[in-house]
Every structure is written in C-alpha cells, then in structure tokens.
Amino acid sequence: MEVNPNLFAVMAAINAAGYDSDLASNANSPIRGEIRKWVESSKIPVLDQLKEFYTARRKEDPARNLSQFVSFALCIEKIEAADGPEFRYRLRLADLPPDVQELDGFERLLTRFYRESKLGVLLANNQALLDRALEPYHSPVTLALQQIDGYLRNPRNNGVKGQFYVYLDVLAAPNQIHVRSYGNDLFVVLTPSPEPQIDYIKSAYMHFQIDPIAMRHIADIETKASLSDFAQGAPALDPQYKKDFALLTVASLTKAVDARMMSAGQRQGAVDQALREGFILTPYFSEALKEYEIQEQSMRFYLPILVKGIDLKKETERLDKVTFASTPRERKAKVAPQPVIEKSPAEKTLEEAEEFYGQKNYQKAGELFRLALEQTNARPIKGRAYYGLARLAALNRDPETAVQLFERTISEGAEAQVSAWAHVFAGRLLDLAQDNDAAKKHFEAALATAGASPASRKAAEDGLKGIRPSRP
C-alpha cells in the first residue's frame, strides 16, 4: 500500500495540462491543490506541449479519461539516465495495452515535465502529507488481507504467482477505483474518498488468490455451465458475468467467502443480496464452505471438491424460485471501466505449457515452452519460457543444461520472482556440483533481486547456509 511515484508523476502532469475533474469536491486530497499551485508558479517550458497532448487525447467520460492515464502509469518505470530521471515503458510498445499505446509519446513529455518542474523535490517535501493520506488504509487493509489469507489457508505459498499492489492516487478526482491485471500482477488504484474503500480491496485480493486456482479447473467448472441461463435473467448483473460462466463462478465463490468471514448475523443477508444481484452460485458455495472450514486442505486443493459438488438439479430448483433485483446495489464509489487486456499468443502458450507441466506431461510442456520462444521477442516472456525448459532439464537430470537455461532466464530479464527462483535453482545445482563460488553468487543474487517473493528469499538464505564444503 503506497503512493506510487510513477502514478504521482503522471497525475501531476495531467493536472498541470488541464485535468480538472471534480476539483470542487471536498473529498480531494489537499496535495492536489498544492501540486497545481506549484506547477502554475513554475512556468515550465514543456507546459504548452503537455496541454496540447492532453487536450488531443482527453475523453468525454471523466472516468475513462482518467483510466487511460492510470494504465499508462502502471506500464512505465523511472530510471536514472545521464541527463537526469527518465521515464520509459516497462514493456515493448506492441505488448502495451491499447489505451496505453494511444498515449505513446507521453513518456517523453513526462520526462521533461519531471525534470523541469523538479517534481522529485515536491514529492519529497510532501512525504508527510502522503503518509497521513495512507494512514486510514494501513491497519484495515492489513487485517482484511490477513483474514483472507487465513481463510484460504495462505494459497500464495501454494503456486499462485504474481504480486498484488494497492496504490492511493492522491492527485485524481475522488471516489474512484481502478483495477488492472498485467501479466500475473494485479493492481488496485484508489482515489481519495470520505472513507477507505476496503471492500473493493478485499474483493480484488480474493480474485487475485482464487482466479488462478479456478483456471486450473476450468473443465470442471464448464460442466456446470447450464446454470448460466439463470444469470441471463438477472438485470443487475454485469454483462461480463453473463458471458463468462467461469468468471461468474469465481465471483460467486468470492462473495460466499466474504459472507462466511462476516459475523453470524450478517452472513445470510450478504448471501441473499449476492443472489438477487445475479451471483447464482453464492448460496451453494456458502453452504459448501461449512465443510471446507472443518477440514485441513487449503482452497488450492479444495476448490475442485467445491466445484464437483454443485448439484445441477438442486441448484436449478433453488434458482427457479429467485426474484432477481432490477438494478444494481448503490455503491459508495464509482468503479472505473477496466479495459480488456488481450494476452499475447506467447503468453497463452506459456500458460498452457505450465498446465501440462503441472500434469507431469513434460514432453508436451517442453514442446510448448519452445513454441513460446518462437512466438515472441519480448524478453520477459522469453525468460519465462527458458525458465520452463530449465526446470525440465533439471528433471531430466541434465544439470549442466539446466544451469545454462536458468542463467538464460535471468539474462533475458524475466519477472523478479522468476529471476529469483532461477538464481535459487541454479545455486542448488551448482552446490551439488560443489562449485561453491558460483552457487554462492546465485544465492546472493536471489536475495538482492527487488520484488523477489519471501519464499524465494528463504530458499536462497537456506542455500547459503547449506553450501557444501569443497572437495580436498
């Protein structure tokens, strides 16, 4: 939970360029006013070009207008160049979401704006205000996510990849929530509001935890898809759920989990409300979760049991009696539209490869990892493909090839978690070969990898402690 510096820079730039949405609202952060005064008094040279760029790409719908710049901010990174701080894309232009591609060129204006306005100084000067803006979120968010981890029995240690980020955008119009999914990472961007929007964070986090598990059992979920006919008759249900039964199933489950974590007096009301809104499997999951709660398996292993337990006849009888709500429940904050991000062919191939790897069909997994290498020039994706091939080489007891492929994973710039584990596995293989110096370097590199998971750090620490002595 933080104020992301890249997001702060983008929002400061568009405020300077003419972003005036909801300026009169009392819910605005005072920092927004300070930024606007600072830039106005600075009279920076790039301002006219910045205004021209923003005006040409401004959307009529205020939420959609803000949405494109939120997407942009999540796809850039700030680096230190010879001439000063510089903003660049984290991905190739072809791999960027469509709304970000439409803003191509803004990164160069943003670099000039950041340098000319000395925004880094302003950001540092307002750090105390930013910390205070975050205070209402820290304790309730931490508690909420701990409760979810506890209920799901911490599936993050059982194969769910990626990172979950929550950013507070203090320079945007208030009362909005933006959710983005890029790769395996999920981002929730909140703008100022009278009360912290904890429910939205909880919902996003549950999806982050459960969605990847559900996708491994998509075939079982689709066997129950005949029930989606009932969802078509729910006026309040978002159309995306009517089109995608798996999405509806997971959303029904998350609402049931949320209800089960409420006090006994609130549970049934929450379940009934979800059902009226069109989340047709929430009552079933709420009942079935009682059995989950008294056994020991985590949700990762119990989810297929929940899905297979759906009785089509019984649920049809239940749903025949439902009167759906005519309009959605009023919410305290507007949810900004989430763009549909199409995965590249290589990413889809890698997901399929990992599925076969999980099923121990290593021959098919290897074919798909190699196919992914042919389908892309994007280095992080190639890194993931090499990572898959490296694990297969290790399984085939070819440690020399495995180490080479793990090192290729790292050199291709794979995501932080993949790179960290590649260092760990390479270190273990080199330790077994009693190449102590090389093993130590890999373990130390894993610990130094920014964004590495706690599990990979622990494995690297254990690897350093367990390096075998060299042969005499």
**Residue in the block written with tokens 């990174």:** 77
List, in sequence order, every residue forming a beta bridge with 189; answer none if it has no partner: 167, 178
277 and 318 together in one domain: yes
Distance in angstroms (rounded) separating the CA atoms of residues 189 and 353: 32
**Residue in the block written with tokens 């949320």:** 258
Q: Which of 86, 114, 133 is the last residue of a domain?
A: 133
Residue 285 has pLDDT above 50, yes or no: yes
Convert the pLDDT of each residue in 160-187 to its tens digit. Answer: 567 889 999 999 999 888 988 887 788 9
88 and 119 together in one domain: yes
Question: Based on C-alpha coordinates, what's the Rg of the chain?
Answer: 24
Span 258-287, mean pLDDT? 94
One-letter amino acid of 307: V
Q: Which of 331, 365, 389 is the last residue of a domain?
A: 331
Distance in angstroms (rounded) separating the CA atoms of residues 344 and 191: 30
- Nearest partner of 376 among 350, 403, 401, 352, judged by Cα: 350
17 and 120 together in one domain: yes
19 and 119 together in one domain: yes
Judged by DSSP in three states, 3 sits in coil
Distance in angstroms (rounded) separating the CA atoms of residues 471 and 359: 39
3-state SS record for 304-343: HHHHHCCCHHHHHHHHCCCCCCCCCCCCCCEECCCCCCCC
Residue 240, token pair as written in the block: 């995306």
List, in sequence order, every residue forming a beta bridge with 176; answer none if it has no partner: 334
pLDDT computed for residue 310 by the predictor: 96
Judged by DSSP in three states, 87 sits in strand
Distance in angstroms (rounded) separating the CA atoms of residues 117 and 120: 8
440 part of a folded domain: yes
171 part of a folded domain: no
Helix (H) or strand (E) holding 52, with range, is: helix 47-57
360 part of a folded domain: yes
Residue 386 has pLDDT above 80, yes or no: yes
For the beta carbon of residue 421, count every other beta carbon within 10 angstroms. 24
pTM: 0.63
Residue 331 has pLDDT above 70, yes or no: no
- Percent with pLDDT over 70 in the chain: 93
113 part of a folded domain: yes
CATH code of the domain in which 387 resides: 1.25.40.10
Span 407-431, mean pLDDT? 87
Computed over every residue of the chain, the mean pLDDT equals 87
Convert the pLDDT of each residue in 450-459 to its tens digit. Answer: 666 667 788 8
- Phi-psi sector, 43: left (phi>0), alpha (psi -120 to 50), beta: left
Number of domains forming the structure of the chain: 3
Residue-number span of the structural domain to which 91 is assigned: 5-133
318 and 369 together in one domain: no
Banded pLDDT at 335 (limits 50, 70, 90): very low
Q: Which of 133, 158, 193 is the last residue of a domain?
A: 133
- Nearest partner of 107 among 143, 128, 81, judged by Cα: 81
349 part of a folded domain: yes
169 part of a folded domain: no
172 part of a folded domain: no
φ/ψ (deg, to 5) at 283: -60, -45
pLDDT computed for residue 336 by the predictor: 42
Helix (H) or strand (E) holding 351, with range, is: helix 345-358
Span 216-236, mean pLDDT? 91
256-285 residues labelled b (16+ CB within 10 A) or e (exposed):
bbbbbbeeeeebeebbeebbbbbbbbbbbb
Q: List Cα–Cα distances, 324 to 231, 238, 277, 280, 305, in angstroms.
A: 9, 13, 6, 10, 28
Span 6-35, mean pLDDT? 91
Residue 339 has pLDDT above 60, yes or no: no
313 and 362 together in one domain: no
Residue 374, token pair as written in the block: 């042919």
270 and 321 together in one domain: yes
Pick the more confident residue, 240 or 16: 16
> Are the CB atoms for 296 and 272 separated by under 8 Å?
no
170 part of a folded domain: no
The CA-based dihedral angle spanning residues 434, 440, 446, 450, taken in that order and rounded to the nearest 10 degrees: -170
Residue 22 has pLDDT above 50, yes or no: yes
Lowest mean pLDDT among 144-153, 243-252, 338-347: 338-347
Judged by DSSP in three states, 89 sits in strand
